[in-house]
Each structure stands twice: as structure tokens, then as C-alpha cells.
């Protein structure tokens, strides 16, 4: 992780330091690059845990064979017959999924009457996850989606205090230390009672905007791209799975769709705008939930990555300079 | 083997059951079936038999079976309580005799128990998806592609979720110091 641990921990509400306190693997800081992939004892511990679940003695399998065969005979279950390859397991699964999805859709629409919800379970999501899994963001490929020229990063509007923002969003803001205290913090309501937190900085007449939301939730943003974004790595230490803090860099302007809650607090409007170069990644939130972050308004990939690497819980410094 | 079962030889299915009972029971236990693990596994084997006609040639049987076990566990557990509580799982673990050699130092045995409990508690705090991926990949000792098949996720998703789940786990285990260097870790 980053070398931010010299920052004093303020405000006793944070009971653990997310930068330290981890066990083995990536956080065994002293080991540095030496404690590389595979050296982490955690997977071994977990395998041992799994083996400890096995019942003692192998007698179980014989009695299981008897029980299963007895039931198959008793219920006169016919011998399975291979089905034609076209209706293979995968095909059937897909058919079933399509059917369920279609049904689920109409059910939801009936129950909620909300078109918004339909778009939250887009059929392309499964394919999208194939190469991209940051909860809450969907990336669609559509060469015909031409972004409009000269778009600007929208500002955040009137600012809340950090404490207000945290209360409304349900998680503490994550702040990149390289950008420092934001000029504004706002929280926008999203469908299904969740919230989007936005932090804005003004820099030479331009806006740098950082959107944050709980990653475990459904699609919040849809990015429609004409060319695939690039994978970049924010981490330096190889992890057990060979990927170290993956992030996605969208070098070109693209169409971004998102939801806004209406004035009655009950209806959602689908908004679309052109987003500039964007970096997308996830970070461990203080509450244990992953938070997805999208940084917009920084045109340089390396600077965007530096900003992303410096993200941490706030406040690392004195709280007297609060945005308000 | 599957071809023989399809050809109407139930004995051939016996062999499949024999080979996979162990891992199926482990899966049911790991997924929270507790005392119902054996019943869950029996039902899963029967359902797998019924569905064998749809099994895709060339696919791997184990992840396919374990996804049926997982479903069956979910159904069973759901009817009982929502999910086994931590206490319930610990009871399940207590039933499964800890694999500690008899010669082991009691202090070491206590340590082992504490480690297991801490690991379990940490697993319990993970999100469902993270817990699943860790369970399939490590507790059930499947490789990445088997995990992907069992969960019905793309491999990239397995990779990235596993990555995050492990990190989260290690953060949830603050007191879980690795034993002194050189001690059985390679």
C-alpha cells in the first residue's frame, strides 16, 4: 500500500488503520516486493480450514452411495439420457437466464412501475463483467455512441460538510491526499435509496470530480465507449491472484448515463452527458464495503493514477479546513 | 463414466458418488448446511442424476455438482433460518473433529482452534460474493476455471473478486499474525 502511515490518525472513530494491521501477504510491509505472490499464507490457511471440514473417516462415501442409489430406485428416476448438443447445459442455462430475466423484468415493472429499474439489470451486464467488474458501473461497447464535443466536467454545486455527507451517503468520503481538501462535497440520491457522493476541486478554471459509491450495488453508471478502456494497475505488490488493484482508464471522451432522483424523491430520470478521460477503480471503504470511485477531469493517465493511489480515509490532517 | 450412467448403468453413478462425496460434504458444510450436510448432499446427488442428461460433454463434473450442492444448501438453509449464524457454523466445525495430531501440544491446539475461529468470523463478515469465491477457490480447493464454472462467473470476475476478498480477509484478521518466519510456511 502507499506510504501514508506517517499521517497521524485523528478522531478516535476509526478503530483500525486500513493501511496497516493486515495479516501476511500484501501488508507484510517489511517483506516488500520479496513477499511476492504465492507467499501469502492466507490461501494455505483457508485450504487447511476447508480440509478441517471433512468428516473423520472415509466411511461416509459408501453410505452415501447406498442412500443415493436407494432413492433413485425408490423414486424410479429414469436413467438420464444425453440431450442433443444444441440443448447442452450452457445453452439451457442461457435460455433459462433469458427467461428469468424477462420474467423478472415484467414482474419488477409491475410491482414498481419504474422504468428505471429495468435498465438496472441490462442483459449485457453478464458479458460486460467478463472483462470488467467494478460494481455499480457498466461499460457498454457501442461504436455509434458519439460523444458531443467540448463537454465540461460538471461541478458539485453547494457543498455539505464531511460529516453531513457521510451521514447522507452512509459511508465516509475517501479523499486523495494529492488533491487535498475538496472545494465541495455533495451527495446525490440514486435509485433504491442509495447515494452517490461527489467531491470537486477547482484547478485553473477546470473541475476535477471524484464520484464515490458503494460498489456492491447495482449499476449506477453506464459508460458507452467506442473503444475499449485500458487496464492499469494501481498496486505495486503482486497479489495472490496476480492482479494488484486493477483500475480502468478511459482515455477518450465517452457517453455517460446515470440516474437522478426527481423532486418528489420517488421518480428517477435518466441523464446522459459526455464524460472526459476517466479513471475507474475500487477502494476498501471504512465500513468494510468496497467503494467504487471514478475520477474525471484529469487528462493525464499517470497523474490520475497518482491521485488514485493517494486516496485514503479523511481526515489525515487537521480538520479546521473543512469544506463549507 | 457419465456416458455409462447415461447408458443406463446406475452402478456407474455409484462410482461418481463415491469419488465426490467427500468434497460435496465439505462444500455443504462450508456453505452452512451444518447438521443437514448429509441430507443436502444426498439430494444434490439425486438431482444431479436427474439432470445428468443436460450435463455438457467435456465440462468438468465437480464444479457442476458443487453448484447443485450449493443450490441445495441454500434451499435447505433458507427454509430453516436465513443463513446459519456464526454460532451454527462453529457448531458444525466443532462436530467435524479438528485435524490436530494427537501428539500436538495443547497450546498449539488452542492456537489452531483460535485461528480457525478467527478465520470463520472473518469469512462471515465478507459479502456473499466474496465469501463464495474464497470458499470455492480455497476451502474447496478448486482451480480458477472450476471456480468460474461452479459460480457461473467469468474468469476475470473470479480473479478480481478473489483478489479483493483476500485483501478484505487479511484486513479482518488484525491479530492474525503469521507464525515466526520459517515455521512451516513456504
Q: How confident is the model at residue A201 (pLDDT cuts 50, 70, 90)?
A: very high
pLDDT for residue A136 is more than 70: no
Contact B5 A79 (CB under 8 A): yes
Domain assignment present for residue B17? The answer is: yes
Claim to verify: residue B101 and residue B158 sit in the same structural domain: yes
Which three three-digit cell numbers place residue B26? 465439505
Claim to verify: residue B27 and residue B79 sit in the same structural domain: yes
pLDDT for residue A165 is more than 80: yes
Put simply, whether A321 touches B (Cβ < 8 Å) is no
Q: A283 near A291, Cβ under 8 Å? A: yes
Which three three-digit cell numbers place residue A224? 458507452
Lowest-pLDDT choice from A27-36, A203-212, B18-27: A27-36
Residues 6+ apart with CB under 8 A from B21: A60, A61, A64, A65, B41
Claim to verify: residue B130 and residue B170 sit in the same structural domain: yes
- 109-148 in A: which are within 8 Å (CB) of B? 126, 129-133
Contact A46 B5 (CB under 8 A): no
pLDDT for residue A12 is more than 50: no
Residue from B170, B176, B186 to probe the interface with A (highest A Cβ count within 10 Å): B170
| Count of CA atoms in the C-beta half-sphere (13 A) of A53 | 32
Which three three-digit cell numbers place residue A310? 493517494
A14 vs A95 pLDDT, higher one: A95
Claim to verify: residue B1 and residue B79 sit in the same structural domain: yes
pLDDT at residue A107, as a whole number: 37
Claim to verify: residue B103 and residue B73 sit in the same structural domain: no
Domain assignment present for residue B58? The answer is: yes
Claim to verify: residue B101 and residue B40 sit in the same structural domain: no
Mean of per-residue pLDDT scores for chain A: 63
Burial of residue B111, with CB atoms counted within 10 A of its CB: 0-12 exposed, 13-18 middle, 19 or more buried: middle
Contact A47 B139 (CB under 8 A): yes
Domain count, chain B: 2
Q: A309 near A302, Cβ under 8 Å? A: no
The 10s digit of each residue's pLDDT in A307-317 is: 998 887 766 54
Residue from B166, B175, B183 to probe the interface with A (highest A Cβ count within 10 Å): B166
Distance between CA atoms of residues A308 and B150, nearest Å = 34
The 10s digit of each residue's pLDDT in B65-96 is: 999 999 888 888 766 654 445 555 555 554 44
- Domain boundary (B83, B117, B149) is at B83
pLDDT for residue B25 is more than 70: yes
Burial of residue B125, with CB atoms counted within 10 A of its CB: 0-12 exposed, 13-18 middle, 19 or more buried: middle
Residue from B178, B184, B186 to probe the interface with A (highest A Cβ count within 10 Å): B178
Claim to verify: residue B52 and residue B126 sit in the same structural domain: no
Q: B13 near A72, Cβ under 8 Å? A: yes
pLDDT at residue A113, as a whole number: 27
pLDDT for residue A145 is more than 90: no
Domain assignment present for residue B6? The answer is: yes
Which of B38, B57, B96 is facing A53, going by the closest CB pair? B96
Per-residue pLDDT, averaged over A126-148, amounts to 49
Domain assignment present for residue B89? The answer is: no
Domain assignment present for residue B68? The answer is: yes
Claim to verify: residue B70 and residue B28 sit in the same structural domain: yes
Lowest-pLDDT choice from A206-215, B30-39, B51-60, B161-170: B51-60
pLDDT for residue A179 is more than 80: yes
For residue B164, list chain A residues with Cβ-Cβ distance below 8 A: 282, 284, 290
Claim to verify: residue B66 and residue B128 sit in the same structural domain: no
pLDDT for residue A19 is more than 70: no
Cis peptide before A315 (omega within 30 of 0): yes
pLDDT for residue A21 is more than 80: no
Helix B61-80 vs helix B144-151: crossing angle, to nearest 10: 50
Q: How confident is the model at residue A248 (pLDDT cuts 50, 70, 90)?
A: confident
Which of B153, B163, B174 is facing A16, going by the closest CB pair? B174
pLDDT at residue A10, as a whole number: 39
Mean of per-residue pLDDT scores for chain B: 77
Lowest-pLDDT choice from A114-123, A168-177, A308-317: A114-123
Lowest-pLDDT choice from A81-95, A123-137, B116-130: A123-137
- 184-243 in A: which are within 8 Å (CB) of B? 216, 239-243
pLDDT for residue A123 is more than 70: no
Provide the CATH number for the domain around residue B49: 1.10.1740.10
Which of A52, A61, A126 is facing B99, going by the closest CB pair? A52
Q: How confident is the model at residue A238 (pLDDT cuts 50, 70, 90)?
A: very low
Which of A23, A46, A90 is facing B139, going by the closest CB pair? A46
- Domain boundary (B28, B56, B83) is at B83
Domain assignment present for residue B92? The answer is: no
- Domain boundary (B50, B83, B116) is at B83
The 10s digit of each residue's pLDDT in A41-55 is: 888 889 888 888 887
Which of B42, B55, B167 is facing A26, going by the closest CB pair? B167
pLDDT at residue A73, as a whole number: 77
Q: Which domain holds residue B48?
A: 1-83
DSSP A35-57: S-TT--HHHHHHHHHHHTTSPSS
Domain assignment present for residue B182? The answer is: no
Claim to verify: residue B78 and residue B101 sit in the same structural domain: no
* List of long-range contacts for A73-79, beta carbons under 8 Å, 24+ apart: A73/B10, A75/B46, A77/B46, A77/B49, A77/B50, A79/B5, A79/B6, A79/B7, A79/B8, A79/B9, A79/B10
Contact B96 A55 (CB under 8 A): yes
Provide the CATH number for the domain around residue B151: 1.10.10.10
pLDDT at residue B97, as a whole number: 45
pLDDT at residue A127, as a whole number: 32
Q: A294 near A134, Cβ under 8 Å? A: no
Claim to verify: residue B77 and residue B133 sit in the same structural domain: no
Do the strands A221-225 and A254-261 form a parallel or antiparallel pair, or are they unpaired?
antiparallel
pLDDT for residue A132 is more than 70: no
Claim to verify: residue B79 and residue B6 sit in the same structural domain: yes
Q: Cα distance from B100 to chain A (closest Cα, Å)?
A: 9
Q: Whats the size of chain A, residue-wise?
A: 324
Amino acid at each position: 500500500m502507499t506510504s501514508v502511515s506517517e499521517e497521524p490518525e485523528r478522531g478516535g472513530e476509526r478503530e483500525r488503520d486500513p493501511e496497516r494491521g493486515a495479516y501476511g501477504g500484501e501488508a507484510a510491509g517489511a517483506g516488500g516486493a520479496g513477499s511476492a505472490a504465492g507467499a501469502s499464507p492466507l490461501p494455505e490457511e483457508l485450504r487447511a480450514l476447508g480440509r478441517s471440514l471433512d468428516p473423520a473417516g472415509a466411511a461416509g462415501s459408501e453410505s452415501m452411495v447406498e442412500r443415493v442409489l436407494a432413492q433413485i430406485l425408490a423414486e424410479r428416476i429414469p436413467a438420464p439420457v444425453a440431450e442433443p448438443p444444441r440443448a447442452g447445459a450452457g445453452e439451457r442455462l442461457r435460455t433459462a437466464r433469458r427467461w428469468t430475466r424477462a420474467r423478472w423484468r415484467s414482474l419488477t415493472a409491475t410491482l414498481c412501475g419504474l422504468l428505471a429499474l429495468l435498465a438496472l439489470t441490462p442483459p449485457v451486464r453478464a458479458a460486460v463483467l467478463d472483462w470488467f467488474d467494478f460494481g455499480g458501473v457498466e461499460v457498454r461497447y457501442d461504436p455509434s455512441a458519439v460523444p458531443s464535443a467540448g463537454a465540461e466536467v460538471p461541478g458539485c454545486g453547494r457543498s455539505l460538510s464531511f460529516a453531513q455527507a457521510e451521514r447522507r451517503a452512509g459511508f465516509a468520503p475517501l479523499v486523495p491526499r494529492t488533491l487535498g481538501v475538496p472545494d465541495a462535497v455533495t451527495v446525490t440520491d440514486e435509485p433504491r435509496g442509495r447515494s452517490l457522493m461527489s467531491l470537486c476541486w477547482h484547478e485553473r478554471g477546470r473541475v476535477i470530480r471524484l464520484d464515490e459509491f458503494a460498489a456492491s450495488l447495482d449499476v449506477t453508471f453506464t459508460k458507452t465507449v467506442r473503444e475499449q478502456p485500458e487496464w492499469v494497475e494501481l498496486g505495486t505488490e503482486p497479489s495472490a491472484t496476480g492482479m494488484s488493484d486493477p483500475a480502468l482508464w478511459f482515455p477518450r471522451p465517452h457517453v455517460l448515463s446515470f440516474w437522478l432522483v426527481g423532486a418528489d424523491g420517488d421518480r428517477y430520470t435518466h441523464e446522459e452527458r459526455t464524460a472526459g478521460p476517466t479513471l475507474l477503480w475500487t477502494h476498501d471503504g471504512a465500513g468494510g464495503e468496497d467503494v467504487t470511485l471514478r475520477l474525471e477531469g484529469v487528462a493525464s493517465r499517470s497523474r490520475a493514477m497518482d491521485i488514485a493511489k493517494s486516496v485514503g480515509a479523511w481526515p489525515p490532517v487537521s480538520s479546521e479546513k473543512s469544506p463549507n | 463414466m457419465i456416458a455409462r450412467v447415461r447408458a443406463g448403468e446406475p452402478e456407474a453413478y455409484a462410482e461418481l458418488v463415491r469419488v465426490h462425496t467427500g468434497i460435496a460434504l465439505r462444500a455443504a458444510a462450508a456453505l452452512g448446511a451444518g447438521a443437514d450436510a448429509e441430507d443436502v448432499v444426498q439430494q444434490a446427488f439425486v438431482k444431479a442424476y436427474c439432470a445428468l442428461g443436460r450435463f455438457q460433454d467435456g465440462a468438468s463434473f465437480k464444479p457442476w455438482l458443487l453448484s447443485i450442492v450449493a443450490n441445495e444448501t441454500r434451499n435447505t438453509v433458507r427454509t430453516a433460518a436465513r443463513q446459519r449464524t456464526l454460532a451454527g457454523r462453529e457448531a458444525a466445525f466443532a462436530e467435524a473433529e479438528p485435524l490436530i495430531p494427537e501428539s500436538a501440544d495443547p497450546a498449539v491446539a488452542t492456537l489452531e482452534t483460535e485461528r480457525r475461529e478467527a478465520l470463520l468470523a472473518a469469512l462471515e463478515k465478507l459479502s456473499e460474493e466474496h465469501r463464495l469465491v474464497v470458499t470455492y477457490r480455497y476451502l474447496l480447493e478448486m482451480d480458477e476455471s472450476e471456480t468460474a464454472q461452479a459460480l457461473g462467473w467469468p474468469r476475470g470476475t473470479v480473479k478480481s473478486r478473489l483478489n479483493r476478498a483476500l485483501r478484505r480477509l487479511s484486513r479482518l484478521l488484525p491479530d492474525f499474525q503469521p507464525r515466526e518466519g520459517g515455521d512451516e510456511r513456504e
